[in-house]
Amino acid sequence: MTNRFTLIFTAQPEHIDELGHVNNAVWVDWIQQIATAHWSAVAAPENQAAYIWVVTRHEIDYRGNVGPGESVTAETFIPAPPTGARFNRRVDFRDAAGKVIVSARTTWAMIDRATGRLARVRDEITEPFKPFGGEA
């Protein structure tokens, strides 16, 4: 069993910066897209209705890039149990050769939609994201 989730992103002309490759802001957007898609794909509908996530931190390592028309496979997972209202998430982007070219560790905080306040991430919310994947 795995808690890993993947999506493929293809660099479009509007994603390309003056250096001829995907702009850093696009990588951040793709991180948010895959995190949101992972939550939507596996979280219980009642939890999706009750909670929303906000980013509190991004740490991104850039080891390569892609140009127009090139695709990357993004893989995300939750490496460890939450701490209070926060969950860390790992996202790796692999090029066509399978090499990790961008790697991110992001921290997300869970907000109760009804109150707008931080909410502790309970076991039933984490269940679909187990087993936790480690930082490997």
Round to whole Å and give the CA distance between 128 and 62. 29
Round to whole Å and give the CA distance between 65 and 102. 8
- Closest to 126 (Cα-Cα) out of 113, 108, 103, 114: 108
Q: What pLDDT was estimated at residue 130?
A: 87
Q: Are 120 and 85 a contacting pair, CB within 8 Å?
A: yes
Q: Are 132 and 6 a contacting pair, CB within 8 Å?
A: no
pLDDT in tens, the chain (136 residues): 468 999 999 999 999 999 999 999 999 999 999 999 999 999 999 999 999 999 999 999 999 999 999 999 999 999 999 999 999 999 999 999 999 999 999 999 999 999 999 999 999 999 998 888 665 4
For the chain, which domains are there? 5-129 (3.10.129.10)
- Closest to 82 (Cα-Cα) out of 13, 132, 40: 132
Round to whole Å and give the CA distance between 102 and 118. 30
